[in-house]
Amino acid sequence: MIPPRPTELAHVILRDFVRPGSLAVDATAGNGHDTLFLAKFVGPNGRVIAYDIQPAALESTREKLESAGLAERVTLLHRSHATLAEDVEEGSAEVVMFNLGYLPGQDHGTTTRECETLVALEAAKSALCPGGVLSVVCYPGHPGGDAEAEAVEAKLRELARHSSWRVARYGMLETKSPAPFLLVARKPGG
């Protein structure tokens, strides 16, 4: 599909950065698509840490991983991504992915929250190794999603403006309702 959906584009961009044996973080496991993607690329000696606050999300992710024979590569954590700093050592992750919003097919009132996402982004900056990549798919079209998307974009713009992080934004133009978009940031070094 041209242009690709933001989630698909994130996979295309990140596949060159998730190396066999590396550590990757899925800060929002959801239905498990990003977790499965990361588990494939870290290989048998790598590790993925995946967060979600909803048991249904973790169960869906677990099922996908087990079907693919990759469950042993992943640690699923039933808690907010705001705890990322407690679980991931500074400078240890090649990639940190966020897919914000709500869990498709579930309660749309349970969403990622701006305050927790900003804490998690700060932790992700530290968790990434030099040259590591952060990706964030934002969904401004649901209640609260617009404020969260604006805050995340502002945070990453600050990184680009006041440091040597490289930051890009990808998304559709001129849509009827606010379209999802992808933010990608690469940490200096590496």
pLDDT digits (tens, 9 = 90+) for 71-128: 999 999 999 999 999 999 999 999 999 999 877 777 777 788 889 999 999 999 999 9
**Rounded mean pLDDT of 129-151?**
94
Measured distance CA(35)–CA(62) in Å, rounded:
9
Measured distance CA(168)–CA(153) in Å, rounded:
10
**Residue 141 confidence class, pLDDT cut points 50, 70, 90:** confident
Q: Does the pLDDT of residue 17 top 90, yes or no?
A: yes
pLDDT digits (tens, 9 = 90+) for 156-188: 999 999 889 999 999 988 887 889 999 999 999
pLDDT digits (tens, 9 = 90+) for 30-62: 999 999 999 999 999 999 999 999 999 999 999
The dotted CATH code for 6-186 is 3.40.50.150
**Residue 3 confidence class, pLDDT cut points 50, 70, 90:** confident
**According to the model, what pLDDT value does residue 184 have?**
98
**According to the model, what pLDDT value does residue 133 have?**
98
**According to the model, what pLDDT value does residue 83 have?**
97
Helical H runs in 32-190? 33-42, 55-68, 84-87, 114-127, 145-162
Residue 101, both tokens: 């919003």
State the Cα angle at 57 between 52 and 62, rounded to 5°: 100
Contact indicator for 23, 92 with CB cutoff of 8 Å: yes
**According to the model, what pLDDT value does residue 58 have?**
96
Spans of all domains in the chain: 6-186
**Rounded mean pLDDT of 126-143?**
95
Q: Does the pLDDT of residue 135 top 90, yes or no?
A: yes
Measuring CA to CA, which residue among 67, 68, 60 is closest to residue 26? 60
